Structure 1
Amino acid sequence: MKLKLGLVLGLLIISTSVFASTHILFLGDSLSEGIGLDEEQSFPRLVERNLKAKKHDVIVTNGGVSGSTSASGLTRLKWHLKKPTDILVLELGANDGLRGLKLEETKKNLVAIIKMAKEKKVKVLLLGLLMPPNYGKKYTDEFEAMYKKIASTEKVPFHPFILKDVAGKAELNMPDGVHPNAKGQELVAKTVTEFVEKNL
């Protein structure tokens, strides 16, 4: 009897500690995935490390998938939301832009992702991205403005550009000049940690 009681109490303690943690899902593309690096070097994993070092009880799921678009992100979110999720950090749209997809479609998908998360009582944090200047000023301006409009209309915390200290710096990026290397991921993680911590 004592053994059974001990097991029950132990399970209660474990389950309570798990549900007491803040579960953070990063839904993104190759930037979140940390393409070309070990998963532990990706910025979502580094954000988890940074927050834990600051005594925040968090569990991070890195839902970054290389090549992911806003449309595929919507499908993947349905699967992720089957698990405990408190905060969604949304980092999608870059592949839409690089493929020249219509911004209205991207906007519609990102808003649908946000609304789906909100319906499940999940707090959404939006990470903004920019397009390279070679895509033309009109498109790059509209792409940047899209995130601002979404953040405003959906009333979600927003960080304009997560690569602000990394983009265009060869020493912080891989040979493709687009994806952060290990040092670059550390800087991205610093920026995103501060943003997430403000909104825990």
Structure 2
Amino acid sequence: MMRKALMGILMMCAGMAQADEVVIAALGDSLTQGYGLPQADGFVPQLQNWLDGQGAEARLINAGVSGDTTAGGLARVGWTLEPEVDAMIVTLGGNDLLRGLDPTQARNNIEGILKAAQAADVDVLLIGMQAPGNFGAEYKAEFDKIYPELAEAYGALYLESFFVGLVEEGAQIDPVALRDWLQADGIHPNAKGVTRIVEGVGPRVLDLIDAVKLGD
């Protein structure tokens, strides 16, 4: 009887611990997915380790798909927002830029993602992207303002850039200057680069966890 009672208490405590855990889906492209890296060295596993080291009660789900555009993210956000998901990190737009897609389409897609999260009562950290200058000043201005404007409109937390741990605020990605932190393609971070990125993104994810807990 004593053993059964003890087991019951332990199971109840385990259930309470899981209830306190914040489940975060990381919706993104190859940067989120961990392209070109062993699984343990990717963004989501490294961020999970960083959060564990901070004592955060959170569990990350890797919802990154290599090559995904904002349209792809919108198409799969419904099944990404499972009932267990409390929050979402959205990092999309890089492949829209590589293809020179219309900023208006990107805006509409990201807004659709934010609307879906809002309907599911899921808090969001929206990570921005900055267009290169080769598409022209007008294109860059239209694209760059998507993220801060939508974050404000939908009450999402905002971080200017995924590469915040590698470059100063407002600076463009320079593959030559960052060659020690990037893979040979000059686009995707290597394991050391991901570590630096996590150090930059991590504090904002802690803010996201706090936002979820304050809303409970």
Whether these two folds match at TM > 0.5 is yes
Cα distance in structure 2, aligned partners of 1:74 and 1:16: 33
Instruction: Give the aligned length.
Output: 200
Unaligned regions of 5+ residues in structure 2, if any? 168-172, 210-216
Deviation string 1:41-97 (CA, Å, 9 cap, x unpaired) is 122222211111111111011111101111211222211222411110100111112
Residue of structure 2 equivalent to 1:141: 141
Residue of structure 2 equivalent to 1:185: 194
Letter matched to residue 90 of structure 2: L
What TM-score does the superposition give when structure 2 sets the normalisation length? 0.84
Cα distance in structure 2, aligned partners of 1:179 and 1:4: 52
Unaligned regions of 5+ residues in structure 1, if any? none
What TM-score does the superposition give when structure 1 sets the normalisation length? 0.90
The SS at the match of 2:180 is helix
The SS at the match of 1:114 is helix
Deviation at 1:176, TM superposition (A): 1.1
Cα distance in structure 1, aligned partners of 2:162 and 2:70: 17
Deviation string 1:6-64 (CA, Å, 9 cap, x unpaired) is 66555443333222201111100001111000122122222211111111111011111
Cα distance in structure 1, aligned partners of 2:99 and 2:69: 10
Deviation at 1:151, TM superposition (A): 1.4
Residue of structure 2 equivalent to 1:44: 44
Letter matched to residue 72 of structure 2: S
Residue of structure 2 equivalent to 1:92: 92
Deviation string 1:163-200 (CA, Å, 9 cap, x unpaired) is 14253211111111111111111111111101111232
> Is the Cα–Cα contact under 8 Å of residues 91 and 162 in structure 2 kept in the other structure?
no
> Is the Cα–Cα contact under 8 Å of residues 89 and 127 in structure 2 kept in the other structure?
yes
Residue of structure 2 equivalent to 1:159: 159
Segment drifting more, 146-155 vs 121-130: 146-155
Residue of structure 1 equivalent to 2:213: none
The question of 1:18 aligning with 2:27 is answered: no
Q: CA RMSD in A?
A: 1.9
The SS at the match of 1:170 is coil
Segment drifting more, 159-168 vs 45-54: 159-168
Cα distance in structure 1, aligned partners of 2:126 and 2:44: 14
Cα distance in structure 2, aligned partners of 1:121 and 1:30: 26
Residue correspondence of structure 1 range 33-182 to structure 2 within 5 A: 33-164=33-164, 165-166=166-167, 167-168=173-174, 169-182=178-191
Of all paired residues, the percent bearing the same amino acid is 31
Cα distance in structure 2, aligned partners of 1:129 and 1:188: 14
